[in-house]
Amino acid sequence: MAMQRPQRAVVTGGGGFIGSHVCDKLLAAGTEVVCVDNFSTGHRSNVEHLADHPGFTLIEADVTEEFEIRDPVTLVLHLASPASLPEFARLPIETMLAGSAGTYNTLRIARRHGARYVLASTSEVYGDPLEHPQKETYWGHVNPIGPRAVYDEAKRYAEAMTVAFRQTYGVDTGIVRIFNSYGPRMRDDGRVIPNFIAQALDGVPLLIHGDGEQTRSPCYVDDTVRGILAVASSGLGQPVNIGNVEEISVLGLARLARDAVGSGSPFKHVEADHDDPRRRRPDISLARRELGWEPRVSFAEGLGLTVAAMRQARQGLSG
């Protein structure tokens, strides 16, 4: 049964790509937002348009350290974490702490306030999956000491901690397993779609790691945020996949990104990333059945919006 819309929400990682869009949607729905971010990977520019909004409060804090939310809150969304391979390499300990100490600290806030808690987990908990498509019941195939391990294992730990708080203290928790998302405000930080767009805009070769036959299922950020908030306003406690079922090869993504930009950039194959998942596509039967959620934005439409946003952002920087 749907819960009453939250009146005041804490969004950790609210200065990040997905987090800033979550802040936008909550405020548009009339919910006050407390955005918590230390801007280690998020950017102030993502939320500067909200600075004068009467319902928006920004707290610059590190979720891996204790911080206080004094006024009552009814929802805590824990989205704070580095989220790309180069960031995992640059911030390995911070990535693990965001999933461990950060999850513990934010769960304690939810418990104190009697708030609904939603953990932003990831399809990376499935690792390089041996099951396709991936259902929430699949336990995953993860290398615990590989280059992605600091993120994969931090999120797996975070899920276990979230479930433990639900079972031990009765905290009203939910878990969203987010698949590859893209859209405006996403930086070219190692993730394939913004990287391909940036390379095409620069007229340089699009770098294809490995043979390019590995697949992804890109979900436009508006659809991802709708899914997160659908879980937040539900009573679901089990993990829920939120992603697109449209599966595209990395080489196919490169072709579409180049065409959307109108670039003549060539492709260049480079060494494959270690432990790069070969196939990635969610089973979203649970989200469809329990939440009435499914993606609405086609990849062609979303890619066009993302290219336009990246062009505009570059013009702003050069202006």
Q: From CA 283, how far away is CA 302, in angstroms rounded?
A: 21
Decide if 264 is inside a domain: no
Structure confidence at residue 315 (pLDDT): 82
Structural domain includes residue 259: no
Beta-strand relationship, 8-12 and 32-37: parallel
CATH assignment at residue 30 = 3.40.50.720
- Residue-level pLDDT at 273: 79
- For the cut 50, the answer to whether the pLDDT of residue 3 exceeds it is no
Tally the domains of the chain: 1
How large is the average pLDDT for residues 217-222?
A: 96
Domain annotation covers residue 174: yes
The reported pLDDT for the residue numbered 2 is 45
Residue 168 belongs to a domain: yes
H helical segments located in the chain: 17-28, 85-90, 92-99, 101-113, 149-169, 192-202, 221-232, 250-261, 285-291, 299-318
Tens of pLDDT along 7-45?
999 999 999 999 999 999 999 999 999 999 999 999 999
> Is 151 annotated as catalytic?
yes
- Using one digit for the tens of pLDDT, what is the confidence trace for 122-170? 999 999 999 999 999 999 999 999 989 999 999 999 999 999 999 999 9
The dihedrals phi and psi of 240, each to the nearest 5 degrees, come to -130, 125
The answer to whether residue 267 is domain-embedded is: no
Q: Rg of the chain over CA atoms, in angstroms?
A: 19
Q: What pLDDT score does 6 carry?
A: 60
Q: Which residues span the domain enclosing 104?
A: 8-182+219-245+276-296
Dihedral sign for Cα atoms in the order 118, 48, 298, 129: negative
Cα 72 to Cα 2, 106, 110, 129, 253: the distances in Å are 21, 14, 10, 41, 44
Write down the catalytic residue from 104, 117, 126, 151: 151
Q: How far apart are CA 187 and CA 201, in angstroms?
A: 14
DSSP annotation of 53 reads: -
Tokens of 5: 């819309």
Which range has the top average pLDDT, 34-48, 186-200, 272-286? 34-48
For the cut 80, the answer to whether the pLDDT of residue 246 exceeds it is: yes
